[in-house]
Chains A and B, each alone.
Chain A
Amino acid sequence: MTYFRSHILVCNDPECVEKGSLNLMTALQAELAAKGLADEVKVLETPRIGDCDKGPEILVYPENYHYIGLSAADIPFLVEEQFLKGRPVASLLAPPKREEVQELREPTAKEVRVVLRNCGKINPENIEDYIAEDGYSALAKVITSMDSDQVIDTVKNSGLRGRGGAGFLTAMKWGFTRDAVGDIRYIVCNADEGDPGAFMNRAVLEGDPHSVIEGMIIAAYAIGAQQGYIYCRAEYPIAVRTLEIAIKQARDLGLLGENIFGTDFSFDLEVRQGAGAFVCGEETALIASIEGKRGEPRPRPPFPAVKGLFGKPTNINNVETYANIPQIILNGAEWFAAMGTEKSKGTKTFALAGDVKKTGLIEVPFGITLRDIIFDVGGGIKDDLQFKAVQTGGPMGGCLPEESLDLPMDYEKLTQAGSIMGSGGMVVMDEGTCMVDIARFFLEFIQDESCGKCVPCRVGTRRMLEILTRICEGNGREGDIELLEELSQEIRQDSLCGLGQGAPNPVVSTLKHFRHEYEIHIHEKKCPAKVCRALISYEIDPDNCVGCTLCARNCPVDAISGEAKKTHVIDPDTCIRCGICSQVCNYNAVNVTT
């Protein structure tokens, strides 16, 4: 049997045939023969590659290049470039497929859309769409019939808490800022949604920017501010653009700028972009960034409400906090307070990511259980595997196990369980996840993003990361767990800002709920989830292996040997545990052991 280094699959569906694919096949075979490649490249017919309306189309294996719209004239160049020189021809390649994934589906029965109510329904680049949905009516009501006290009281009675993660009572913060000494005040929106796995704010900024703008103007009115900034991370260029368009349209209609609605209340807004620093989501680091400095947090007190941006009283709230305000003003505090639990009122957006079937955004009233979110709204675990853990609150959140699934979503309840609400990111993990690897992974992120200002965070998290890396590499030692616990306590107590204070949470929560995994890594040098590369090995099952050689041909380090039609063998010393052999094997013949 001849082994070909390349296969060309030519689509023979009627549509492609009509466009000349069989002639193409003949031309390919002739050109390959002319170039002496007939023994190395095999041409085959295949049905239904997929893009027949752009045919004729071919697939080149093993690289999986998909060429479309070919004609006989293309063949000589294609053969020379692709098969003689090994260079794919970019101009003939099909554009990469984008899978249709809905980030925001039709709401399920358990959802209530307040913050997300307009997303996907209106054109965010047309202010009139927003106005048609009662947009800016709340502002009109506030400016014409309410004073500062009445606005702050309404927000207070609604029970709204900051949605950025800390959950501080919004009305209280507004009150402090209004009552602080000084003539100049600022309103800032924290749109630096840096939590990996969180994209709720992005949806609102891109889909309904005016809800945030209106909320900010109302806040400015209540607090007595003249200028506002929306600090949006640069990783969200579409959001930045949408905001700038929205601000201009609001200004053009007199909703921003001098004398709003013809009163003597003036307020204007500016967008400021981040530059790629997770720590700038922390309020004092964010302020430093707007001031043109390194994003390093500052000690508090004094709090931003008293001394913030440019040293002036500043109110900083999250995107979602502001987006709730117009609805609270229009529908009333009681309407909002009727949703949620005793201490956590209203709704919250969550972003489901990871091993769950329906990834994407949801908005639910507080009080719903984790189980309902993951298995009802989220549709359960992908491929129906076993649930293992869910991480809430971002990289400074905790991992909660199956026993916690009936926990109601509530600020205090989550903190008691060892996690945090955070901004709403939820990463669901299945049975194939190693919790030690996950803790190490989050700590790596935090180490990368630590601003470096204070020793507990800068040095402490590095030491923790070193210990975790050793454990994952099979060099864990007696006493490592105790050391991790000691370091965690110190870092929590002594760090300057929330990033450092929360940094140990992934480790603390995984130690609490999955301690046995750590112990197995350290004492037995095994990884129960078969993830940590130094602790696993790949073996070929002789009962299933048919000797097709696919694994050997795809192994990046040539660690697999064997003759055709005979059982193959992996050399454990050369194997780098990349898993490619397991992925390409069609006979389930590759086993991972620990």
Chain B
Amino acid sequence: MTVTTKESRDVIKTVDEVVDEFHARSEELIPILMKLNQELGFISSETLERISTRMHIPQSQVYSVASFYHMINTKPTGRHIIKFCESAPCHVAGGREVWDAVQKELGIKPEETSNDGRWTLKTTSCLGVCAVGPVMMVDDDIYGNLTPNQLPEIFAKYE
């Protein structure tokens, strides 16, 4: 017998709402996963299970799709997600020094979450703002023309 906690019921409710919004159509699996990613922070095994049940798609297949796409998280994330552009134009414009400084400042490596749950660090592919590289996003804010000494001030804005 599975005990459903309050958190579980919330997850199930959220999944049901989103799946219903897209009429449980299998072709809408990616928009469904993206929306759940946004609402729940990441796709947990519980979320996966419920999607699978509602949409009649094997769990392995749902996981296969979820894990394929960079922007869908299959692990829990911190309160703030930093996406650092890892692409060539940003790299050529001095991105390497900034990337080293970011990792040093936060004390974590890419795909890791800080111990205090504040930060998750990810790389992102090109954001299309190469004219102001190096570039990173913190949550939905984009920062360009980065230099290492700007970082403490930027990070201080996010509790």
Contact = CB atoms under 8 A, between A and B. Distances in A.
Interface in A60-103: 63-66, 88, 90, 93, 95-96, 98-99, 101, 103
B140 to A, nearest CB: 8
A398 interface: no
B159 interface: yes
A407 interface: no
A101 B27 contact: no
Given A235-B126, A275-B70, A294-B64, A353 B150 contact: no
B29 A292 contact: yes
B88 A442 contact: yes
Contact of A196 (B87, B152, B154, B159): B87
Contact of B97 (A272, A289, A433, A578): A578
Given A99-B144, A355-B92, A292 B126 contact: no
Contact of B89 (A99, A197, A292, A580): A197
A359 interface: yes
Contacts of B130: 196-199, 351, 353, 359, 425
A591 B152 CA distance: 27
B93 A96 contact: no
Nearest to B104: A556
B131 A275 contact: no
Contacts of A292: 25-30, 65
Contacts of A199: 126, 128-131
A427 B88 contact: yes
Contacts of B91: 441
Interface in A440-456: 441-442, 445, 449, 451
Residue of B31, B132, B150 with highest tally of chain A CB at under 10 A: B132
A208 interface: no
A235 B128 contact: yes
Given A64-B153, A93-B156, A579 B70 contact: no
Interface string B121-145: 0001111111111000000100111
Contacts of A235: 71, 124-128
A277 B152 contact: no
Contacts of A565: none
A374 interface: no
A276 B64 CA distance: 14
B41 interface: no
A237 B71 CA distance: 13
Given A99-B144, A275-B30, A427 B89 contact: yes
A66 B131 contact: no
Contact of B92 (A63, A425, A427, A556): A427
A293 interface: yes
A101 B70 contact: no
A196 B72 contact: no
Residue of B25, B69, B128, B130 with highest tally of chain A CB at under 10 A: B128
A276 B69 contact: yes
A276 B88 contact: no
Contacts of B153: 63-66, 88, 93, 96
A294 B68 contact: yes
A291 interface: yes
A580 B144 contact: no
Interface in A181-205: 193-199, 202
A404 to B, nearest CB: 18
A122 interface: no
Interface string B87-108: 1111111000100100010000
Contacts of B154: 96
Interface in A328-385: 351-355, 359-360
Contacts of A289: 30
A292 B55 CA distance: 12
Interface in A409-460: 425, 427, 429, 433, 438, 441-442, 445, 449, 451
Contacts of A429: 92
Interface string A242-277: 000000000000000000000000000000111111
Given A199-B128, A199-B129, A93 B157 contact: yes
Contact of A65 (B70, B131, B143, B156): B156
A4 B128 CA distance: 43
B115 interface: no
Contacts of A237: 140
B111 to A, nearest CB: 12
A354 B131 CA distance: 8
19 contacts: A64-B152, A65-B153, A96-B143, A96-B157, A99-B144, A199-B128, A275-B33, A276-B124, A276-B125, A278-B125, A292-B27, A292-B28, A293-B29, A310-B27, A355-B92, A445-B86, A556-B104, A579-B97, A580-B97
Sort A-B residue pairs by CB-CB distance and give the 6 closest, nearest first. Answer: A196-B87, A276-B70, A276-B71, A275-B69, A353-B89, A196-B126
Interface of B: 25-31, 33-34, 64-65, 68-72, 85-93, 97, 100, 104, 124-133, 140, 143-145, 148-150, 152-154, 156-159
Given A235-B126, A294-B65, 8 more contacts: A65-B152, A193-B128, A197-B89, A275-B70, A291-B27, A353-B130, A427-B88, A556-B104
